Amino acid sequence: MILRIGNASGFYGDRFDAVREMLAGGELDVLTGDYLAELTMLILGRDLLKDPAAGYARTFLRQMEEGLGLAHDRGVRIVANAGGLNPAGLADALRALAERLGVPARIAHVEGDRLPAGPGVLAANAYLGGAGIAACLTAGADVVVTGRVTDAALVTGPAQWFFGWGPEAYDELAGAVVAGHVLECGTQATGGNYAFFTGHDVRRPGFPLAELHEDGSAVVTKHPGTGGVVDLGTVTAQLLYETAGARYAGPDVTARLDSVRLTQEGPDRVRIGGVRGEAPPPTLKAGICRLGGFRNEVVFVLTGLDIEAKARLVQEQVRDALAKSPPADIRWELARTDHEDAGTEETASALLRLVVRDQDPDRVGRALTGAAIELALASYPGFHVTAPPGKGAPYGVFDSAYVPAGEVPHTAVLPDGTRVLVPAPAVTRELAPVPEPDLPAPLPAGPARRVPLGLVAGARSGDKGGDANVGVWVRTDRAWRWLVHALTVEHFRELLPETRGLAVTRHVLPGLKALNFTVTGLLGEGVASRARFDPQAKALGEWLRSRHTDVPVDLLEEAR
């Protein structure tokens, strides 16, 4: 028995026609879609404030205009977390759509993830597992929409239904979690955002699918004829994305990432095997989105000579103008995008970015606007900005919390309206760190060359609230023997000076030839607050790859 389960969305706003492509492009049993992220929950929370009937991903509903009939004709079940903060509302809208289209689709939804929200909180949601999805599919649902479930639950739920796994089939569930984590970000598994992209045609990568087996093993692939690539590197990169150590905890199971074994089975086919699982923790992670205050920014353009002096002048002038009532948080960043003796004005210019935050909208609105505009004829030569500062806008903050699983009313609402309460796991296991594995012997000393790390190592980075993670991997055993000894926490901090003074944790994953670094607090209050130039740390790994370090010459020759 093989369950063919695909993905057609990695975020709210992903390629619209992917649903049709996946349904029409090849054999499939279940099509999933991941529409939720920390920032998305904030956006949906604001939508819900304006309209009680909103709060779900409207894009999904539009995709179902065509996708619902296609899925019915091909016998494909659809599972998506597009319900956001209002899965019942989306389910009702889908029933109305099915009736209008004349498609006899049975619609179900999963709810219970929403938690009581305190003052200033836009959304508080626990991350549910896949058991509610499995209950809906078992009851005959053709479409299941959920609120906040883990991304991997979109795969573990259908797998529990299809194979009949019980809640203590830990190894099988862990295999499904790993497959789900590879699928969840769509084309990131098929060559999108890939460190070694120049070796492949990734102009329009196809979306991934997994052939899941009853023992929990899987083959990651894509529909025939679609673009991109599935290889050991693309799958490894995605396994490191937004993860941390050897134990990857979830509501269904804790998957041991240090047990994962990848094998290139053929062109665009990577087998995932050997995954071990453990009982899940007794608590569920909860995401809390709240209003953090108000924010504004202005970017000053500095052209030609004396860039540093021009930057100092405008900073002093803005500081003086805001002195009577300064915003609580003022941040400057000078990006030296200018070139000496440049052939165009743009390439002769640097960008000085000012970001301000405060609880009082006037301090980041009218005060900043006045300070910037009044300098137009009274500051550095060549004064101009990329755009006039506006009135300022509210920004959100994402916090994590943990709640006892038994206190969350995980509920499957079946196609006939029956409500089924999904029990919390009877067996749980507190999380504990995994001892660092034995390290391989270092490479013998030999000649080295100072070059970018990325000539021999790939990386992928991302965000979890205010923390960032950077996964780094290599492709050969010799490169692994070098990397695991060379890229220590201390050297990581040297290569990325922004991480100095922050807590950095290194996790060693020999089976993937990978290191995964967690940097605590790098992103401030999370992506919605936009405290950093790269607020989701998407390019942090590429910055690391661009940094120069001493690499053995034979590894450089091996990489070529």
HEC string of 190-218?
A: CCCCCCCHHHCCCCCECCEEEEEECCCCE
Question: Residue 432: inside a domain, yes or no?
Answer: no
Of the pLDDT bands very low, low, confident and very high (cuts 50, 70, 90), residue 119 is confident
The pLDDT, as a whole number, for residue 391 is 86
The pLDDT, as a whole number, for residue 316 is 97
Q: Is the pLDDT of residue 532 over 80?
A: no
Using CA atoms of 343, 347, 348, 351 in order, give the dihedral in degrees to the nearest 10: 170
355-367 tens-digit pLDDT: 999 999 989 998 8
Same domain, 328 and 385: yes
Confirm if 299 and 353 have CB atoms less than 8 A apart: yes
Question: Residue 441: inside a domain, yes or no?
Answer: no
Average pLDDT over residues 149-155: 97
Average pLDDT over residues 85-93: 98
Same domain, 391 and 488: no
Question: Residue 43: inside a domain, yes or no?
Answer: yes
* Geometric angle at alpha carbon 58, from 52 and 59, rounded to 5°: 170
46-61 tens-digit pLDDT: 888 899 999 999 999 9
| Residue at which a domain ends, from 363, 397, 431 | 397
Please give the single-letter amino acid code of residue 246.
A
Confirm if 397 and 528 have CB atoms less than 8 A apart: yes
Same domain, 30 and 99: yes
Q: Is the pLDDT of residue 101 over 80?
A: yes
Question: Residue 168: inside a domain, yes or no?
Answer: yes
* Percentage with pLDDT > 90 across the chain: 86
Q: How far apart are CA 144 and CA 80, in angstroms?
A: 7
Of the pLDDT bands very low, low, confident and very high (cuts 50, 70, 90), residue 526 is low
Joined together, the tokens standing for residue 319 give 């500081």
Joined together, the tokens standing for residue 102 give 């004349």
Question: Residue 470: inside a domain, yes or no?
Answer: yes
The pLDDT, as a whole number, for residue 49 is 85
Question: Residue 434: inside a domain, yes or no?
Answer: no
425-484 tens-digit pLDDT: 999 999 998 999 999 999 999 999 999 999 999 999 998 888 999 999 999 999 999 999
The pLDDT, as a whole number, for residue 39 is 81
Average pLDDT over residues 259-286: 98
Same domain, 391 and 415: no
Q: How far apart are CA 559 and CA 551, in angstroms?
A: 11
DSSP type of residue 227: B
The residue range of the domain holding 175 is 2-287+402-421
Count of domains for the chain = 3
Same domain, 150 and 194: yes
Question: 160-169: long-range contacts at Cβ-Cβ below 8 A with a sequence spacing of 24 or more?
Answer: 160/130, 160/131, 160/133, 160/134, 161/133, 161/134, 161/137, 162/1, 162/3, 162/29, 162/30, 162/137, 162/212, 163/1, 163/3, 163/214, 167/131, 167/252, 167/425, 167/426, 167/427, 168/279, 168/427, 169/216
Specify the 3-state DSSP secondary structure of 41.
Answer: helix
The pLDDT, as a whole number, for residue 538 is 94
Average pLDDT over residues 291-301: 92
Specify the 3-state DSSP secondary structure of 137.
Answer: helix
Place of tokens 């074994």: 261
Residue 388 CB coordination number (10 Å): 10
Q: Is the pLDDT of residue 118 over 90?
A: no
Of the pLDDT bands very low, low, confident and very high (cuts 50, 70, 90), residue 560 is confident
Query: Residues 128-141, buried b or exposed e (16+ Cβ, 10 A)?
Result: bbbbbbbbbbebeb
The pLDDT, as a whole number, for residue 529 is 60
Question: Residue 253: inside a domain, yes or no?
Answer: yes
Q: Is the pLDDT of residue 527 over 80?
A: no
Q: Is the pLDDT of residue 388 over 90?
A: no
CATH of the domain at 303: 3.30.70.380
DSSP type of residue 455: G
The pLDDT, as a whole number, for residue 393 is 87
Mean pLDDT of the chain: 95
Same domain, 170 and 251: yes
Quick one: 444 exposed, middle or buried, by C-beta within 10 A (0-12, 13-18, 19+)?
Answer: exposed
Q: Is the pLDDT of residue 528 over 80?
A: no
Same domain, 160 and 261: yes
The pLDDT, as a whole number, for residue 176 is 98
Joined together, the tokens standing for residue 161 give 């239904």
Same domain, 179 and 207: yes
Residues 6+ apart with CB under 8 A from 339: 347, 348
Question: Residue 430: inside a domain, yes or no?
Answer: no
The pLDDT, as a whole number, for residue 169 is 98
Same domain, 87 and 228: yes
The predicted model scores a pTM of 0.94
Question: 115-118: long-range contacts at Cβ-Cβ below 8 A with a sequence spacing of 24 or more?
Answer: 115/286, 115/403, 115/408
Q: How far apart are CA 204 and CA 206, in angstroms?
A: 6
Same domain, 223 and 81: yes
- Which spans in 401-528 are helix H? 477-486, 489-495
Q: How far apart are CA 70 and CA 83, in angstroms?
A: 21
The pLDDT, as a whole number, for residue 292 is 87
Compute CA distances 186 → 14, 86, 460, whole Å. 9, 23, 15
Same domain, 465 and 407: no
Confirm if 422 and 251 have CB atoms less than 8 A apart: no
Q: Is the pLDDT of residue 334 over 90?
A: yes
Of the pLDDT bands very low, low, confident and very high (cuts 50, 70, 90), residue 534 is confident
The pLDDT, as a whole number, for residue 552 is 97
Same domain, 348 and 470: no
